[in-house]
Structure 1
């Protein structure tokens, strides 16, 4: 079971799930885990037209676990269990090819009109088989090896994605584009994401030049609140890559992956900015207020300067096209645009 995938799933569940339920599950797994904080108001660009391969053309795909599968033409009845996969499918214009989604998927809104299926430990093999999909797209945490074998024995083709960084995100988009007959759309999407990131990086570099002499500004990503144990992102994650693009320094870039850290470590490393992606359910203090009011944190630069930003957890934790939106929102906060 992959740590990063668990984090994405737990951080992105529907608001109807209580934060305690989500993070209690995560703690049982020794970390956090896609879908569910408040949806972004920013919509995707117009749905691209399909570039379909001939129906009789066999499509051979090697997924992100190195598993080889063959499809007799583009998949027309797809089940996708992770939020990022659903977002990619709809952004590619393949929404009409989707027949079922995982229970925690919430974007785009029209996806929620599809058949909703339990995922993870609650997966119903019978419910998946009943929909007769010609492709099931899933992440590394969705099912056990035994469940996968049961599904494959029932004749269901399975495509596994496992993106951990931006390169992995692009690979997942390519694979889904290939499986749906929308490879050109996938390449355009990847090209657009790379262009947007490059533009942000260039603007951030210009800003940094204008701020010469101030030193590199530092940032701390909080992906789990103090109440349930602090978790953050280190190197080898797409959050780290976004930090690099935006010209700021992650205070935990000397550590790998998604990791649990202590209050003392945050205080000692003294970030200039704190970014929280905890969900806000409208009860009690907001995530920003909770951080600002923590005992012993009052001397952290970000607290003294009131530089605590509540990022959209869906955008910043789902490895898909909306990572660009999350990065743009963070850029606007950092540079006042």
Structure 2
């Protein structure tokens, strides 16, 4: 199992390394009014590092509470939603006040990823890694 995981991880990393423009990413782990995200020292930061993507909150450590205005000012290319307890959350995020100027909103790059495979370390890690990679760099997987 471990050897298969290593091969798949290497394959995913090779695909994203071919992407010419590194993208900035915001990871949302909870909804308003208390939006939380991941900074350095987190599992998601490790995933983003593996995928050659920049976490817009990589200047903060651990789990970080963030104001919507800060998300807008940091202007991520991609927004990943890692929870599913709010029905229609992707559309709700797109409709937040002031978010219409965010690149991720303008490019329809707000993607909800599977909470289980992207937040729990284990044999399904590779599934989560691939899902996040495809959300950030869909062009690398379009073949």
Q: TM-score, normalised by structure 1?
A: 0.39
Shift of 1:216: 2.5
How far 1:332 sits from its partner (Å)? 2.3
2:17 maps to 205
Report which of the two structures shows the higher radius of gyration computed on alpha carbons.
Answer: 1
| Residue in structure 1 matching 2:77, options 253, 259, 272 | 272
Say if 1:278 and 1:313, in contact at 8 Å, map to a contact too: yes
Q: What is residue 247 of structure 1 aligned with on the other side?
A: 52
CA distance in 2, matches of 1:231, 1:194: 31
| CA RMSD in angstroms, aligned pairs only | 1.7
Match of 2:29 in 1: 223
Q: Which residue of 2 aligns with 1:63?
A: none
Counterpart-to-counterpart distance in 1, 2:41 and 2:4: 22
Structure 1 residues 191 and 258, CA gap change in structure 2 (3 angstroms): farther
The answer as to whether partners of 1:223 and 1:276 remain within 8 angstroms in 2 is: yes
Q: For structure 2, which runs of at least 5 residues remain unmatched after alignment?
A: none
> Which runs of 5 or more structure 1 residues have no equivalent in the other structure?
1-188
Structure 2 CA distance, aligned partners of 1:194 and 1:254?
A: 29
In structure 2, the residue matched to 1:42 is none
Query: Are 2:2 and 1:193 aligned?
Result: no
In 2, Cα distance between equivalents of 1:258 and 1:301: 23
| CA displacement, residues 42-65 of structure 1 (integer Å, 9 cap, x when unaligned) | xxxxxxxxxxxxxxxxxxxxxxxx
TM-score (norm 2): 0.88
Q: Which has the higher contact order (CA 8 A, sep 6+)?
A: 2
Alignment partners' CA distance in 2, 1:316 and 1:335: 17
